[in-house]
A and B are shown apart, each in its own frame.
Chain A
C-alpha cells in the first residue's frame, strides 16, 4: 500500500495515466480499493492470494496458461488498456 502510493506519485509526476492490478489480494481487505476510488484510479483486476496460483508461478507457468478460466479477465484488462491508449492518442 505504501509502495503503491509512491508509484502513483511517480507516474503522476511524469504525467502518465495509471491503473492498478491487486496481486495476492486477501478477501475482505479493502485498503487498496478504498485508496484507488479516493484517487480516481481504476482497479483493473484482483488476483487472490492463492497457493495454486503461487505454484503455477513457481513453475514459470503464466496464470492465463495454467488456469484458462483467467484468460477472459486478462483479455478484458488488455481491452481496457488498449481503449485508454486510444483515447489518450486522440486527445493528444
Chain B
C-alpha cells in the first residue's frame, strides 16, 4: 500500500481541488482529509457518514461550585487569565492543572476535553476518513495521526493499493503529522513570490523526514517567468516536476458545484490534472 500526501506550505494553492480530482481518477483507494482545522475535501466528494467518533484530547479545569469558597486564589494565579467570576473559560484554559493544585479546598478538578469528531464515510469514489476539530481546540497533529491511522486500517482491510491524503497548509505540527512515513509528497505551488518561498520551506520539511517530493505548479500561466524560476529551482535541487496546470475559471465553478473538476468538465486544467495523476501514480508504483 502506498500513500501520497498533497501539501503546499501555503494555503489556497489548489491542494483540495487536486486531491478531489485524484479521488475521481485513482482506482482502489482510500481518501484521507488531514486538514482537520478546516476540512474541505468532503465538499467535493459528497460523503455519506457511516461512523462518527469523538476525539478526546487534553484537559480543562472544572470548578465545583458547591465546594468553591470564592477565595479568588485561582483567578489571581492563573497565568492564562482563564478564570473569571469562578468560571473557567474553555478557550483560554491550557489544561496545565496549576489551579487544581493550589485550590485550598480542592474544588477544582481536571476533566478530559472533547476536542472534536472524526468520521468514516462512503463516497462514490471510495471510503473517506475526515475529522472536524472543535472551535479553538488544539492538538490537531494528534487528530491528523488518528485520521491517517484509520485510513490505513481501511486500506489494509479492503486490500486497496493507494491512500490519497489531502494535507493541511503550512509547515507546522499537523503538516509533519500528515507527512511522516508517507511514500510521496505532492507539493502544489503557484508562480508567486510567496509560492516559491513557501515551497522552499515545505521541501525542507520533506527532506528532514526523508519523504520523496514532487512538485506541481498550479495556475502556472499567471506568471510564466515565476513558473520558470520555480522549475529551475526544483531542477537545481533534484526535485522532479510532476505537472503544470493552467489558470482556468472552471476550477472555481467546479468547487461551487461541489464536484471534482475532472467530473465537471474536460477543459485545459482538467486535462493537465489527468496527466498529473498519471505521473504521480507512476511515481507511487514505479513498475
Contact = CB atoms under 8 A, between A and B. Distances in A.
Interface of A: 2-3, 6, 9-10, 13-14, 24, 26, 29, 31, 49, 51, 54-55, 57-60
A59 B223 contact: yes
A58 B192 contact: yes
Pick from A9, A26, A57 the residue with the most CB of B within 10 Å.
Answer: A57
B249 to A, nearest CB: 7
Chain B interface residue number, banded: 20 to 34
Contact of A2 (B40, B247, B249): B40
A58 B222 contact: yes
A57 B192 contact: yes
A49 B195 CA distance: 18
Contacts of A2: 38, 40, 43
Given A3-B38, A58-B192, A10 B136 contact: yes
Given A14-B136, A54-B219, A49 B193 contact: no
A51 B191 CA distance: 13
Contacts of B105: none
7 contacts: A2-B38, A6-B37, A10-B135, A14-B136, A26-B252, A31-B256, A55-B222
Contacts, number: 47
Contacts of B43: 2
Given A10-B136, A13-B135, A51-B247, A58 B40 contact: no
Contact of A55 (B38, B91, B223): B223
B190 interface: yes
Nearest to A14: B91
